Amino acid sequence: MRSSHQPLCTRAHQAAALLLVAATFFLTRLLDRSPLSAPPPPCAAPYSPWPHRDLRIYVYAEDEVDGLRALLRGRNDDVTAATCIKGQWGTQVKIHQLLLSSRFRTFDKDEADLFFVPTYVKCVRMTGKLNDKEINQTYVKVVLSQMPYFRRSGGRDHIFVFPSGAGAHLFRSWATFLNRSIILTPEGDRTDKRGISAFNTWKDIIIPGNVDDSMVKSDRLAVKPIPLTKRKYLANFLGRAQGKVGRLQLVKLAKQYPDKLESPELKLSGPDKLGRIDYFKHLRNAKFCLAPRGESSWTLRFYESFFVECVPVILSDEVELPFQNVIDYTEVSIKWPASKIGPGLLEYLESIPDGRVEEMIGRGREIRCLWVYAADTERCSAMSAIMWELQRKVRRFHQSAETFWLHNRSIVNRDLVEFHEWRTPVPLP
């Protein structure tokens, strides 16, 4: 553990402060207003209770913790990162890989502020390489029986990615075992068929979904945006209805106003399925891209809109959006009550002057780098924004109900065993 006897104002702190100020400067310039006010230099005051520090993240290796390998590669050890990196849930792989090469990575657990637990569990489940029961049991094994550092903080300094709409519900008993940990998820509200949301607005971080690689390379987009005046539709919704009220209303509305709204009944396969490139070609052909709620509040469509350059219209009341510390969403999108989906919505969208639409699209073009999973050394990327949020979660001290400390600064468990002697299995909570 990093000793708290460390002087408050070390060289590292000063360097970190400079870095932070520089980062703020760039982000501020990038976002061209000043959404971030520069944090005060950590060493300005003789005593600062919340010093800004550099960030050190330890990434668990797959064989370091029993069970972790199964959560990454399935029971037969045959799921590959290359398979799991594709599609809207690719964040589970991208964040892991980007952390492995991150400048914030540490190999020393004792100096780590945060611990990253890699799993590709959404992919492993999709490919049938672990079922729900196995996933639950494997997580419990990983979390409980072998991770003394997890135990030390009750999981408060441990980071997990749950890349899909199910959020942490992918691990059935998450509420018992992971309810203190930092969860990275695109989903703020998975209440359909679940009862409760797994997202906690104060400790978890909303991440952007993984937009297809062919669309995010700004120099050579697979599908280029088209001029506003050349677009065929006012608005579109190109997704499956999945029996959801809002989506069904849009399909109906499109039949009433076929020249304004494109919203065909799409299927998962067969002739009514849109291929990836065709999908983007349709998406770019409207001024507004509607993003209604599906099984959950999150939809990838919202992020994709920024790359085909239509204005996203959120029709999902419970949605949670990423990086609210730096983005003002009124500049780049519209949120309309889901209960008011109808001809009134189309009338409203029609009343918006093209100048304003262009303005929103222009601003969206500036911030969309925050949806791109590139290295945290990039001036603007999903990863640098995630690091910024993680930095704010760093604690100087790690504690839990099962952690105690003595006069000589020994950290011990309930049996007064010193931290570095904690052996598995340790008593369950």
Ligand X SMILES: *[C@@H]1O[C@H](CO)[C@@H](O)[C@H](O)[C@H]1NC(C)=O
Output the smallest distance, CB 429 to ligand X, in A.
4
Which positions ≥6 away from 130 have C-beta within 8 Å?
Answer: 70, 71, 74, 75, 121, 124, 138
> Which region among 174-182, 187-195, 250-258, 390-398 touches ligand X (by CB under 6 A)?
174-182
Which helix (H) or strand (E) element contains residue 105? strand 105-106
Phi/psi class of residue 264: alpha, beta or left (left: φ > 0; alpha: ψ in -120 to 50)?
A: beta
Tokens for 269, please give them: 């396969």
- Figure out which of the listed residues 24, 48, 97, 137 binds ligand X, where binding follows CB under 6 A: 137
Output the smallest distance, CB 61 to ligand X, in A.
24
Output the smallest distance, CB 59 to ligand X, in A.
23
- Figure out which of the listed residues 176, 325, 330, 339 binds ligand X, where binding follows CB under 6 A: 176
Taken in order 141, 147, 153, 158, the sign of the CA dihedral is negative
Based on the shown chain and the rule CB under 6 A, indicate whether residue 175 belongs to the binding site for ligand X.
yes
Which positions ≥6 away from 201 have C-beta within 8 Å?
Answer: 188, 320
Query: Residue holding tokens 């672990």?
Result: 130
Contact (Cβ atoms closer than 8 angstroms) between residue 115 and residue 108: no
Between 97 and 179, CB nearer to ligand X: 179
Based on the shown chain and the rule CB under 6 A, indicate whether residue 131 belongs to the binding site for ligand X.
no
Nearest residue to 124 via CA among 168, 170, 169: 170
Nearest residue to 404 via CA among 394, 412, 396: 412
Based on the shown chain and the rule CB under 6 A, indicate whether residue 156 belongs to the binding site for ligand X.
no
- Figure out which of the listed residues 56, 172, 240, 393 binds ligand X, where binding follows CB under 6 A: 172
Cis peptide before 39 (omega within 30 of 0): no
Based on the shown chain and the rule CB under 6 A, indicate whether residue 173 belongs to the binding site for ligand X.
yes
Based on the shown chain and the rule CB under 6 A, indicate whether residue 218 belongs to the binding site for ligand X.
no
Based on the shown chain and the rule CB under 6 A, indicate whether residue 200 belongs to the binding site for ligand X.
no
Based on the shown chain and the rule CB under 6 A, indicate whether residue 179 belongs to the binding site for ligand X.
yes
What part of residues 396-415 is at the interface with ligand X (CB under 6 A)?
Answer: 406, 408, 410
Based on the shown chain and the rule CB under 6 A, indicate whether residue 343 belongs to the binding site for ligand X.
no
Output the smallest distance, CB 155 to ligand X, in A.
7
What CA–CA distance (Å, rounded) separates 425 from 83? Answer: 34
Taken in order 219, 224, 225, 227, the sign of the CA dihedral is positive
- Figure out which of the listed residues 1, 30, 38, 140 binds ligand X, where binding follows CB under 6 A: 140
What part of residues 16-75 is at the interface with ligand X (CB under 6 A)?
Answer: none
Output the smallest distance, CB 399 to ligand X, in A.
13
What CA–CA distance (Å, rounded) separates 163 from 79? Answer: 17
Between 258 and 429, CB nearer to ligand X: 429
Between 159 and 360, CB nearer to ligand X: 159
Neighbours of 393 (CB within 10 A): 17
> Which region among 49-57, 168-176, 361-369, 390-398 touches ligand X (by CB under 6 A)?
168-176
Residues of this chain that interact with ligand X (CB under 6 A) are 136-137, 140, 154, 172-173, 175-176, 179, 406, 408, 410, 429
